[in-house]
Structure 1
Amino acid sequence: MAERPPVRLQDVAEHAGVSLATASRMLSDPEYGGRAALRERVLAAAAELGYRPNPYARALATATSMNVGLVIHDVRDAYFATLSGGVITVAERHDLLVTIVCTYRDPRRELEYVKRLADQRVRAIVLAGSPVRDSAHNAAMHAELDAYQRSGGSVVSVTRGRTVGHVVDIDNVGGMRKLVHDVVGLGHTSFGVLAGPQRLLAVRDRLQGIKLGLKDHGITLGRDDVVYGDVSRDGGLVGAQALMSRREPPRCLLAVADVVAVGALSWLRANGISVPGDVSVTGFGGIPAAIDAVPSLTTVELPLGKVGENAMELALKPASPRHVVEVEGTVVRRDSVAALR
């Protein structure tokens, strides 16, 4: 079914039987006197038609806005910090200012920030955090982003899951599947997974990649083999403790993010568990700290700076046609993984 075009100010004016200038003044200037009956007629027409004012439309249409909104989960996570650096690099080439907001994986905060950025007349909104599995939230986000894009704004999402705007699609499933093939090739058959919140689409995709990679070798995960926690260092600490305190702990821990794996390494080291002698550990993302971890972290390395650059470059393109840039990760084996003895 075709979508109904957005209601224009002109439509409100015609419905109320007033001039375009009068309708605009009545709706945009609360201090404007005018006739009370006329104002009520204009407001009633706007409400009946479902008119939504777009205070940023003129700035977007004339490309006067020099600001870009970047929505991320957590700037303290080097994954997002590195990606943000790529966005800023391209924005600076075009004399654009980047405003970064952190949702801390809260869908309500994400929606509120999108509304605020749109109201501030930003030229583009780049969504670098994973979408969530929440139909009501996703419908509300779609409505906000669609209205913003229809008014001339540019929308870019990093990773799949949103239907508005351009996409930088990170192959979370394929990257994790390749990583699992690599560690199984070293003889590993006993695994524990340090996962993030189940509502995050990226977490689900990476977990699916793990399961597919294991299935390729006839291995399945038990329900207790997956621990869900925060995508943070603390999440890795808690998850590692839960998995390694079992009667028969796994011989390989697969973390859905490097920051989680770094937390796991810290807990293992503090508790005298040898890595990779007693247990191997892997991550996902390729943050700079993966190289400096003790021991250095095996991971799926993404070109995070380039991902950010690609996202900002897409933000400078017209909304149509829709562009999708696919990004694959590379398995980088380091000291945190060894062949099973």
Structure 2
Amino acid sequence: MLRAQRARAILLIGSGFQDRAWERAMDAELDPYVRAGGRVAVVSRHRSLRVDTVQPENRAGAAELAKALVALGHREFAVLTGPPELTTVADRLAGFREGLAGAGIGLDRVVRGAFTREGGHLAAQRLLASGGPRPTCVFAVTDVMAVGALAALREAGVRVPEDMSLAGFDDIPVVRELSPPLTTVALPLTEMGERVIALALRTPSGAGRSRVVRIDGEVVLRGSTAAPPGS
């Protein structure tokens, strides 16, 4: 549709897929558009697309978050994660594992849900119903899931952070207004939008080379995390 409308540029905003068939299909759609003079730029990791990219350092940010939570004294963790085929999910989960592994801590409790508030709510309910010792800290791979998880914990009478700490990723504006405000990895979302449109409107780099702008996240500790109970 966008090719037919002769759009000057296409921005693909959102996670890539770890799916070769999807990548080939997307590349087949974008290639004739680019050859006809269109411009394409993306946000997030899209492995095989030969386009300019604004890439948040999801893996490194999640690893730094894990280290910060370990520094608070946590040793028992669970992760609420989205669909594993999304590169954003895969990178954040892998980074969090790496950060824990550096402290000699394993991660056995990973609960999958939809990449939405409702998905986070249901994943948190499943975690609480799974039995066994409860983790002292839960990491939701996106703030949207964390918002749903917070509601589920409240409904179950679990106090945050007194009984269980909770952290997310992205720093969407609403999480600062939660009670308690959410610990997260802050990405400069407005800057990322500005950078991707700038890439799309700049002259192509030539020789088939794609430009990659890497964006670091920053761990922001807020009221949803504290030292674990009894520490």
Normalised to the residue count of structure 2, the TM-score between the two structures is: 0.94
Tell me how many residue pairs correspond in the alignment.
Answer: 224
> 2-side partners of 1:164 and 1:120: how far apart?
22
Matched residue SS, 2:2? helix
Between the two structures, name the one with larger relative contact order (CA 8 Å, sep ≥ 6): 2
Residue 332 (structure 1) aligned with residue 220 (structure 2): yes
Gaps of 5+ in 1: 1-115
Quote the sequence identity (%): 46
Shift of 1:271: 1.7
Q: Does the 8 Å contact 1:265/1:294 carry over to 2? A: no
**AA matched with 1:335:** G
Larger gyration radius, structure 1 or structure 2: 1
Of residues 237, 262, 265, the one that matches 2:147 is 262
**AA matched with 2:80:** L
> 2-side partners of 1:195 and 1:212: how far apart?
16
Q: How does 1:10-21 map to 2 (within 5 A)?
A: none
Gaps of 5+ in 2: none
Corresponding position of 1:100: none
* Off by >4 Å, runs of 4+ in structure 1: none
Shift of 1:248: 1.3
Q: Does the 8 Å contact 2:80/2:113 carry over to 1? A: yes
> 2-side partners of 1:147 and 1:319: how far apart?
16
Q: Does the 8 Å contact 1:297/1:336 carry over to 2? A: yes
Shift of 1:278: 0.7
Shift of 1:174: 0.3
Q: Does the 8 Å contact 1:167/1:323 carry over to 2? A: yes
Corresponding position of 1:197: 83
Of residues 217, 228, 232, the one that matches 2:112 is 228
Normalised to the residue count of structure 1, the TM-score between the two structures is: 0.64
Deviations 1:91-145 (A, max 9, x none): xxxxxxxxxxxxxxxxxxxxxxxxx212211111111111112111110111211
> 1-side partners of 2:34 and 2:50: how far apart?
8
Q: Does the 8 Å contact 2:61/2:219 carry over to 1? A: yes
Corresponding position of 1:41: none
Q: Which one is further off, 303-312 or 137-146?
A: 137-146
Residue 176 (structure 1) aligned with residue 75 (structure 2): no
> 2-side partners of 1:252 and 1:118: how far apart?
47
Matched residue SS, 1:277? coil
> 2-side partners of 1:293 and 1:191: how far apart?
22
Structure having the larger proportion of residues in helix: 1
**AA matched with 1:177:** A
Of residues 206, 209, 215, the one that matches 2:101 is 215
Q: Does the 8 Å contact 1:190/1:252 carry over to 2? A: yes
Aligned-residue Cα RMSD (Å) equals 1.0
Q: Does the 8 Å contact 1:290/1:297 carry over to 2? A: yes
Corresponding position of 1:238: 122
Shift of 1:160: 1.8
> 2-side partners of 1:281 and 1:138: how far apart?
34
> 2-side partners of 1:229 and 1:117: how far apart?
32
